Amino acid sequence: MGTLYIVPTPIGNLEDITLRALRILREAALIAAEDTRTTKVLLQHYDIKTQMTSYHEHNKLGKLETIFGALAGGDVALVSDAGTPGVSDPGYELINAAIAQGFRVEPLPGANAVLPALVASGLPTDSFVFLGFLPKKDKALRDYMATISDERRTLIAYENPYRLLETLEVIRRTLGDRRICVAREISKMFEEFFRGSVTDAIIRFEREAPRGEITIVIAGASPENQEQWEEDDVRAALFARLQAGEMLTGAAKTIAQKSGWSRRVVYAMGAEFKGDGEKGPQG
């Protein structure tokens, strides 16, 4: 049986592809492409002549038999229009189906928009949440943003340029005028990273309508705006994590982020449990 390779492709500059990815694309028995016309440009640039078949949102169920038939006798390379397959695209379902059928699935590291936008944003990178594509309807977006208003980790989302201004307005109303980075056309000719407050971004893109692929990076909630847990709740949550086998360092970090307590204090509480034979919050 063959292997299903998850092959990231450039999100802009055609040089943003690994040597291994090019080898897999050449050697595979079949390339399953989200859009064969888009992938054809990449293959022609590198003189790769591997047979392709389309695999996208509208034909994904009907193409499984073709792809699994190819996997029975050779390797298949899964590619999306750009970036890493399986992230906010139908590749996720093919990967799950291949795993269920017992095929080997091997991911290759490579291009994506999330990490470049994050590291270039100037916002904290030690912990973040990827939100994918945001809801399209105004009420659904407002409701969704309300559920993450207390999230202290950096937030990252994809957005359509035609909805960017509306989305920024909702962010300002529900999350506040936070620091933000609007990353546009990453790795393309007109790449731009706009950094400032949400209000600054609204003014900027009202003056000049945004174009191209958009990734939004939003600062997490400020600790002073977060309701702090009671000490008993902190101790109970910490003890539960330690009892489940989680390391103290990781448990203290997670609970500190959620509770509004300092990580040093939470860690000290955990050390007390360990020093007391882990008898629990009540000793």
Task: Quote the tokens at residue 52.
Answer: 């392709």
Res. 78 pLDDT band, cuts 50 70 90: very high
The DSSP secondary structure of 203-257, one letter per residue, reads HHHHHS---S-EEEEEPPPPGGGSPPPPHHHHHHHHHHHHHTT--HHHHHHHHHH
State the pLDDT at residue 253: 85
Superfamily of domain 3-107, CATH level 4? Tetrapyrrole methylase, N-terminal domain (3.40.1010.10)
Mean pLDDT over residues 236-264, rounded?
A: 85
Domain ranges of the chain: 3-107, 114-224, 227-275
CA distance 32 to 206: 40
Mean pLDDT score across all residues of the chain: 90
pTM of the model: 0.76
Residue 276 has pLDDT above 90, yes or no: no
| Model pLDDT for residues 11-62, shown as the tens digit of each residue | 999 999 999 999 999 999 999 999 999 999 999 999 999 999 999 888 888 8
Res. 224 pLDDT band, cuts 50 70 90: low
| CATH code, residues 114-224 | 3.30.950.10
Contact 252, 270 (CB under 8 A): yes
Contact 91, 18 (CB under 8 A): no
- In Å, what is the CA distance from 112 to each residue of 147, 152, 220? 26, 23, 22
Residue 187 has pLDDT above 90, yes or no: yes
Residue 223 identity (one-letter amino acid) = P
State the pLDDT at residue 232: 87
Q: Number of helices (H) and strands (E) in the chain: give both, helices first.
A: 11, 10
